[in-house]
Amino acid sequence: MTEVESRGPFRRFLSDYGLILVAGVALAAAGVAVGLFLLGDEALVRSLLDRYGLLALFAILILEGAMLLYFAPSEALVPAGVALLASSTVEVAVVILVAVAGATVGQFALFTFAKRGGREYLLSKPWFRVSEDRLDRFDRWFDRWGPLVVPVSNALLFTRGMLTVPAGLAEMEDWQFVVLSALGSLVFQTWLALVALGLLGRL
């Protein structure tokens, strides 16, 4: 009997879905506000967003950072946050910083899973939807360019978060990953916010 088979059903469930469960609980805390914004009374929605809006943004960006956000394009999150939650330069900066913090927390969670669990562990999990071929390609990127590829990939469309797992598998230092991941996310979220401000006519 393998180590995984020897675990009880509850521990196997936590092993397979623990990351989703943690992110889901965080998202649920702000889900009412987001749901009411889409379906409910506008005055009540704006009141809830004033109180819980940044929490909603933070929770959703945790999912995005952990590569669990398959139901909405991550590129729309900060522009939506700027449109709904920010009416001044300071508030735009806060939206950006909250987005960076959420994405970094999510990426660090995935990085930690990769560092402690290993490659085969991640590939065996139903929530990890990166194919082995794609993971091989990103491993080669990390092998070639080293840690500096983490912020670069985080600052670009289509490659965000893709170097998180190779960095974990390479046992990169935790503090170094957090700093470089946050730096790349800061660049990415800032230019998204600037695009949103341009579209809203505030630039």
One digit per residue, the tens of pLDDT, for the chain of length 203 reads 444 455 566 666 656 655 555 555 555 444 443 443 344 444 443 454 456 678 878 877 888 888 886 655 667 778 888 888 888 999 999 999 999 999 999 999 999 999 999 999 888 888 888 889 999 999 999 999 999 999 999 998 888 889 999 999 999 999 999 999 999 999 999 999 999 898 878 76
Contact 163, 153 (CB under 8 A): yes
Amino acid at 15: S
User: Residue 85 has what pLDDT?
Assistant: 83
Rounded distance between C-alpha atoms, residue 3 and residue 118, angstroms: 15
Cβ-count burial 30-49 (b if 16+ within 10 Å, e if not): beebbebbeeeeeeebeebb
The pTM score is 0.75
Cα distance between residue 25 and residue 183, in whole Å:
27
CB atoms within 10 A of CB 3: 6
Q: How deeply is 133 buried, as exposed, middle or buried, from its count of CB atoms within 10 A (0-12, 13-18, 19+)?
A: exposed
pLDDT given for residue 84 in this prediction: 80
Residue-range definition of the domain harbouring residue 111:
3-199
pLDDT score for 108: 95
pLDDT of residue 37: 37
In angstroms, how far is CA 132 from the centroid of its own chain? 21
Q: For position 66, what pLDDT does the model report?
A: 87
Residue 126 confidence (pLDDT): 83
DSSP-derived secondary structure letter, 116: H
User: Which residues have CB under 8 Å from 190's CB, separation 6+?
Assistant: 96
pLDDT for the residue 199: 81
| 139 exposure class (CB count in 10 Å sphere: 0-12, 13-18, 19+) | middle
Q: What's the structural domain count of the chain? A: 1
State the DSSP code for 72.
S
Which stretches within the chain are classed as H helix?
3-6, 9-39, 42-65, 77-85, 89-117, 119-123, 132-145, 149-154, 164-169, 174-199
What residues contact residue 21 under an 8 Å CB cut-off, 6+ apart? 14
